[in-house]
Amino acid sequence: MTKVFKRIYTYNFLLPAAVVYTVIFIVPTVMSFFFSLTRWTLSDWEFIGLQNFRTFFQEPSLSIGFKNTLIYAAATSSAKVAGGLLLGVFLTGKIRTKHYLRSVVFFPTLVSTIAVGIAFSMMMHPTEGLINRTLATFGIEGPDWLGDTGVALLSVAFVDVWKGVGLATVIYIAGILAIPEEYHEALQIDGGNGWNKFWNIVVPLSRPATNAVIILSFIGGLRSFDLIWAMTKGGPGFATDVIASIIYKQYQGGFYGLATAGNVILFLFVTAVVYPLSRYLTRTEVDL
């Protein structure tokens, strides 16, 4: 690059962003590793080694968060992949209500998570709720969706999918529409049916979309907090507590060192899962 252009593309342009990003994001992230090893009151800290991490792994009310976070992320992201793919295929087909259905499926993405959580927790009320009353008319006795420790986490995951499947769908729609027409023509010449088209063309060639949906929803799932907080606050007991909600609880309790240890664990968790996952997914991708 010539000297002139070095001056034209001066790093001064980067300066404001670099300052804000460093001060508000990078410094706290780096400092979290230090403060996770302390007993901390914001104004004062005392070094206690790995004590916070030990507490996190030994205390059942905290360690349950690992399991729940993984279950939640795996359940929501796999449901979003399956749902997004099926809806994506359906909504790129020759149907008349395409535009209406696309809008309807996408709309919940834009509604406030807290609002969605409140509305659904009311509909999931064990006796009065809309869902169980409807089931009752068919003679089915629905479970206590949010009050039963066995199903509560999956109920929240269902609402997460309801809200998020629209984004997965539009990503798939973009991916499927990007598949070159030649592949479909080739299939027609070879006499393949709709099933062949789905398995041999759409699924492999929309892999970039699949990867985007998996990574995006997995990260989102691991970090998710607001929906769980709006619907169950981690309850009943600790049945729906995830790492993010535990961080909030410890923060509220004034255990800043412990909350920060939770953040470090979440950081390690996310990078440990997402980095190899994205490497694997991009390696197995095929070229169009």
Is residue 206 within 8 A of residue 88, CB to CB? The reply is yes
- What part of residues 49-78 is at the interface with other proteins (CB under 8 A)? none
Task: Work out how close the CB of 182 gets to other proteins at its nearest, in angstroms, rounded to a whole number.
Answer: 22
Please, which residue, 71 or 216, has the CB nearer to other proteins?
216
DSSP string, 243-265: HHHHHHHHHHTT-HHHHHHHHHH
Round to whole Å and give the CA distance between 129 and 276.
42
- What part of residues 233-262 is at the interface with other proteins (CB under 8 A)? 244, 247-248, 251, 256, 259-260
Please, which residue, 2 or 58, has the CB nearer to other proteins?
2
Task: Work out how close the CB of 89 gets to other proteins at its nearest, in angstroms, rounded to a whole number.
Answer: 12
Report helix, strand or coil for 47.
strand
Please, which residue, 110 or 189, has the CB nearer to other proteins?
110
- What part of residues 108-147 is at the interface with other proteins (CB under 8 A)? 108-115, 118-120, 122-123, 125, 128-130, 133
Round to whole Å and give the CA distance between 278 and 179.
22
Number of other residues whose CB lies within 10 A of the CB of residue 110: 9
Report helix, strand or coil for 126.
coil
Q: Which of 62, 75, 79, 167 binds other proteins (CB under 8 A)?
A: 167
Task: Work out how close the CB of 190 gets to other proteins at its nearest, in angstroms, rounded to a whole number.
Answer: 20
Round to whole Å and give the CA distance between 169 and 171.
5
Q: Which stretch binds other proteins (CB under 8 A): 54-62, 71-79, 195-203, 265-273?
A: 265-273
